[in-house]
Chain A
């Protein structure tokens, strides 16, 4: 048995989604190799080589791989596939984009968004916006799967000394090509990895109000900022703040939902949080059914009082 994990990184460091995907690889069992793609990623490869239990790190360096274009990633992974029984990626937008392409070219049905590894061929994954958990066994010779990082515990970052090998990288993508990136700038922790998340909903009423209310509270707690689909659709917060079935799935230690009613699609993205706090003036809002602590109050009163209470 051998498992290939495609690393998630920002070109200067690994993201912890990689460590969590390696944890899933360990649950499958066998030798674990890590593939790092992109240009100028020697430091990232060295970081991956230090992870205990990694046999070797494969490095594919090419500018064609810098922007995670699916065609380029698939062209890098496919020649390596014969050596592995399982190929895994974190279920980030990059993994979700490239991995079904890889799976189809290998004539394998992908197992998407795995939350639990039962054995090398059997996996649990959420369906219907997380309202049901499906256990599936693959009959394919090879496993191609994306791993939901929030449900696995990151492996240690130090202690290993794997070798680093270079592998072939495609020179340029012939089909789709990269034009531009527009990255949301933030000093706050990354939404997917944050210990505390403060989310705002439609009740904020405007982008200014969202920034005035939600962001200072998040900063006070050292938290990441999230938003409901309603808040994103209304333009109160950028798209990549969206928590839910179609946005990000988070599972922080503390999730504070401010002015969010708690639609099924939103709950799909946060109901595995350890402690959920809901602040909403509507005592019948569905969010209170899953909140550990509910405060029925207008956020305009509750948030300033909460800020004051945190000062004490």
Chain B
């Protein structure tokens, strides 16, 4: 079975973002970028399925600027087989990403799409569900456990209040949660090998998909700042403050 893993290049999760003074967006100039953490988990899971002999080929796809290639290289170094980069400098929303991925799925015919549950930049948590909808495939979101037997995926999902187990007939879209696995680090020899693996360049026009955003960003602002607090010396003082000053207990 072939697996498709979509990955996104995002601001590194440890970076504290700054909003631009003109409120047009956040400042991404000279900021460290990395693979979206959830996509690393999806890549890791695909590689583990390949190691178990369930998966024969892992295709990684990324949509974004030319540098999205670096993100694909990271996935190739983790064990993916080849990449597709769909190059555009436009802002691409989940709906447009889902349409592009649908076209890639139709061309590649994977048995499973494994992807992150959300990107840590736009925090939408939508692309996987949208892709499943457009393909008419079942979806299993927020997966913390994935088992594949024949053409059925059994997925344990993290939901409010606990866990839920679903079974989905393949092909399906599975979006992964943090708890699914611990992604591996790429070793130096694997990073070198990844440089020889192929990455096919494409554009949105190759797939005939209109990526015009549906949402217009009016402005991006800083959240309100909390006023500075105080340090108390003891638990007694803390309880007194909470009772009299804050009035919350």
Contacts and interface: CB of A to CB of B under 8 A. Distances in A.
Nearest to A311: B239
A139 B214 contact: yes
Contacts of B13: 264-265
Interface residues of B, number: 79
Given A140-B214, A239-B163, A308-B235, A133 B229 contact: no
Contact of A175 (B117, B138, B157, B162): B138
A101 B125 contact: no
| Chain A interface SS verdict (over half) | mixed
Interface string A64-103: 0001111100100000000000000000111011111111
A232 to B, nearest CB: 8
Interface string B129-156: 1111110011111101000000000100
Nearest to A67: B164
B54 interface: no
B34 interface: no
Contacts of B16: 131, 264
A90 to B, nearest CB: 10
Given A175-B138, A181-B164, A265-B13, A292 B246 contact: yes
A104 B95 contact: yes
B39 interface: no
Interface in B206-233: 213-223, 226, 229-232
A296 B230 CA distance: 11
A59 B159 CA distance: 23
Contacts of A177: 166-168
A138 B229 CA distance: 38
B109 interface: no
B227 to A, nearest CB: 8
A248 interface: yes
Contacts of A136: 215-218
B115 interface: no
Interface range on chain A (Cβ under 8 Å from partner)? 35 or more
Contacts, number: 256
B242 A70 contact: no
Given A128-B26, A179-B167, A112 B178 contact: no
B89 to A, nearest CB: 19
A100 B129 contact: yes
B191 interface: no
A237 to B, nearest CB: 12
B200 to A, nearest CB: 26
25 contacts: A67-B164, A68-B159, A97-B142, A101-B130, A101-B133, A112-B125, A128-B123, A133-B221, A136-B216, A138-B216, A139-B214, A176-B139, A177-B168, A183-B162, A245-B120, A246-B118, A246-B177, A274-B248, A275-B248, A290-B226, A290-B229, A293-B238, A302-B235, A306-B239, A312-B236
Q: Which 9 A-B pairs have the closest CB atoms?
A: A175-B138, A305-B235, A100-B129, A100-B126, A104-B130, A109-B214, A176-B138, A104-B133, A309-B239
Interface of B: 11, 13-14, 16-17, 19, 26, 93-95, 98, 117-118, 120-134, 137-142, 144, 154, 157-169, 172, 177-179, 213-223, 226, 229-232, 234-236, 238-239, 241-242, 246, 248-249
